[in-house]
Structure 1
Amino acid sequence: MSRFNKLSHVLWHCQYHIVWVPKYRYKILTGRVAFELNKSIHMHAEKLGCEVVELNIQCDHVHLLVKVPPKVSISTLMGTIKGKTALQVFRQFSYLKEKPYWGNHFWAQGYCVDTVGVDAEMIRKYVKYQNQKEQNLKLKF
């Protein structure tokens, strides 16, 4: 099985590690809240055609390892996930909205994102090998 996914005109393997926190980094992502967030993140990521590889919800932050097709931007993915999950959490757990400092915002602004890819040395060897392979083919013609 290939590590690449297919769309109509592209083979892709775009994997990202994303981390984000609730507002004021409160330790509220536990128990039932964490369970519902887990379900919601999976659901909204899949609606965008993304594949959740790993998801770890800590009490004060979320780690998401996700494969994202090239047609979906990271900002779109995160805007959808943070926006939809915030609405759902406030709807299901109204006691979280009782504190006036939330201001209708569940998540802190921003997030951290890093690409997850093949080792740079492996890519160098692959490119070098392909160059040698091409030269060998030219000699045969």
Structure 2
Amino acid sequence: MSSSSKSPRSYWRENSTSASAHTRFYHRFHVVWVTKYRYKVLQGPMRDRIREIIRQTCDEMGVHIVRGVLARDHVHMFLSIPPR
């Protein structure tokens, strides 16, 4: 059965949600982290270290980074966080 012949509801349920033992969930959060006074300090080695810390912390907490962007003075993250 091709995906085009499925109903929109079943397609969304299978492709947009995640499942645990007894639930289906769709928890997405847009997080923006800004440096103090918007100083442009997120560059060079600092940028690499911040990226490493964010990835490590998300892995430890079971958070999936759907998309993330580091600018020189702020970070945008679109996260998928499972319920606890």
- TMscore range, shorter length: 0.7 to 0.9
Structure 1 CA distance for aligned equivalents of residues 21 and 60 of structure 2: 18
Task: Map residues 1-141 of structure 1 onto 2, 5 A cutoff.
Answer: 2-71=15-84
Contact 1:29/1:60, CA 8 A, preserved across alignment: yes
| Structure whose CA Rg is larger | 1
Query: Per-residue deviation at 1:60?
Result: 0.5
**Structure 1 gaps, min length 5:** 72-141
Give deviations 1:40-78, integer Å, cap 9, x for gaps. 11111121111001111100011001101122xxxxxxx
Give deviations 1:108-130, integer Å, cap 9, x for gaps. xxxxxxxxxxxxxxxxxxxxxxx
TM superposition score normalised by structure 1 = 0.47
Residue type of the alignment partner of 1:25: R
Structure 1 CA distance for aligned equivalents of residues 81 and 37 of structure 2: 28
What RMSD in Å do the two structures reach over aligned CA positions? 1.3
Give deviations 1:6-37, integer Å, cap 9, x for gaps. 22221111111111111221110011111111
Structure holding more helix per residue: 1
Identity %: 30
Residue type of the alignment partner of 1:27: K
Q: Which runs of 4+ in 1 moved over 6 A?
A: none
Structure 2 CA distance for aligned equivalents of residues 9 and 48 of structure 1: 20
Question: Where does residue 9 of structure 2 map in the other structure?
Answer: none
Structure 2 CA distance for aligned equivalents of residues 67 and 58 of structure 1: 21
**Structure 2 gaps, min length 5:** 1-13
Residue type of the alignment partner of 1:38: R
Query: Per-residue deviation at 1:3?
Result: 2.1
TM superposition score normalised by structure 2 = 0.75
Residue type of the alignment partner of 1:8: A
Structure 1 CA distance for aligned equivalents of residues 26 and 56 of structure 2: 20
